[in-house]
């Protein structure tokens, strides 16, 4: 038995575990969460780096650490680029409606290799047994389905994320950039760059978080109460 070789393997395993934990901490998420395309690539690459170096006696612990550090730097670069909506869609994918406003988008089905049988099966997993019970179906970037049941769900739109306007979501909400600027200005927010998150729900209102973490919920009912107060004064 080669104790030196096995001892080095133990060291590599320990260093590999520490390296993977460091990578997960750096990436800011656990692999237990729903995986995006980038997460899947990371899993394969990190597994190949650690597994390949552990069983190769010609590669040292330093080679493993170097590979993990380089891959971490690449991921940090990808995360920074993903703040841009174009690169975010490129790296993470984007969500698309399979069914919207009474129309099935066959191109979305084909693009995601989703057959009608698979769609029906996945609806059954959500205890939905008929398309008659569905208004819209959204195919998320992580491959999950978001289903809006008839007369039950009200869809909300994330219009601002990390200080940037999400123009594609605005189009889905049938709203314009000018409308968003005007509405936020009425609510006292003149700079979108100062906002971390803006969610809008039709017939309900806005849910706003600024970059300090302050949350403000502005519903239709609260606006009516403000107007009634102004009138009474």
> Residue 215 sits in a domain of what CATH number?
3.30.240.20
pTM: 0.47
pLDDT band of 2, cuts 50, 70, 90: low
Average pLDDT, the chain: 78
Mean pLDDT of the region 101-112: 84
Residue 195, number of CB atoms within 10 A of its CB: 20
Determine the pLDDT at residue 170. 92
Mean pLDDT of the region 164-179: 90
Mean pLDDT of the region 34-38: 65
pLDDT higher than 70, residue 207: yes
pLDDT band of 11, cuts 50, 70, 90: confident
Determine the pLDDT at residue 181. 92
Mean pLDDT of the region 98-104: 84
* Same domain flag for 85 and 102: no
CA distance 226 to 218: 11
pLDDT higher than 50, residue 1: no
* Same domain flag for 7 and 86: yes
* Same domain flag for 43 and 69: yes
* Same domain flag for 164 and 181: yes
**How many domains would you assign to the chain?**
3
* Same domain flag for 131 and 201: no
pLDDT band of 179, cuts 50, 70, 90: very high
* Encoded tokens for 210: 């600024």
pLDDT higher than 90, residue 151: no
pLDDT higher than 80, residue 190: yes
pLDDT band of 24, cuts 50, 70, 90: low
pLDDT higher than 50, residue 224: no
Instruction: Kindly report the backbone phi and psi dihedral angles of residue 39, in degrees, each rounded to the nearest multiple of 5, phi listed first.
Output: -65, -40
pLDDT band of 37, cuts 50, 70, 90: low
* Same domain flag for 174 and 118: no
* Same domain flag for 84 and 11: yes
* Nearest Cα residue to 155 out of 220, 102, 201: 201
CA distance 4 to 64: 18
Domain around 203:
157-232
* Same domain flag for 134 and 169: no
């Amino acid at each position: 038995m080669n104790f030196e070789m096995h001892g080095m393997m133990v060291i590599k395993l320990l260093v590999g575990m520490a390296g993977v934990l460091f990578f997960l901490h750096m990436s800011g998420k656990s692999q237990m969460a729903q995986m995006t395309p980038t997460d899947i690539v990371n899993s394969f690459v990190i597994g190949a780096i650690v597994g390949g170096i552990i069983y190769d006696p010609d590669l040292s612990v330093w080679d493993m650490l170097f590979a993990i550090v380089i891959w971490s730097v690449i991921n940090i670069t990808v995360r920074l680029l993903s703040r841009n909506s174009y690169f975010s869609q490129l790296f993470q994918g984007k969500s698309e409606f399979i069914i919207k406003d009474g129309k099935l988008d066959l191109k979305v089905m084909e693009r995601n290799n989703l057959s009608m049988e698979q769609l029906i099966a996945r609806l059954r997993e959500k205890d939905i047994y008929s398309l008659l019970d569905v208004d819209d179906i959204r195919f998320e970037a992580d491959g999950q389905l978001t289903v809006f049941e008839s007369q039950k769900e009200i869809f909300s739109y994330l219009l601002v994320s990390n200080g940037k306007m999400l123009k594609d979501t605005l189009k889905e909400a049938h709203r314009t950039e000018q409308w968003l600027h005007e509405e936020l200005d009425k609510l006292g927010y003149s700079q979108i760059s100062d906002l971390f998150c803006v969610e809008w729900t039709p017939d309900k209102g806005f849910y706003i978080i600024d970059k300090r973490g302050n949350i403000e919920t502005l519903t239709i009912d609260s606006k009516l109460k403000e107007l009634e107060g102004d009138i009474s004064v």
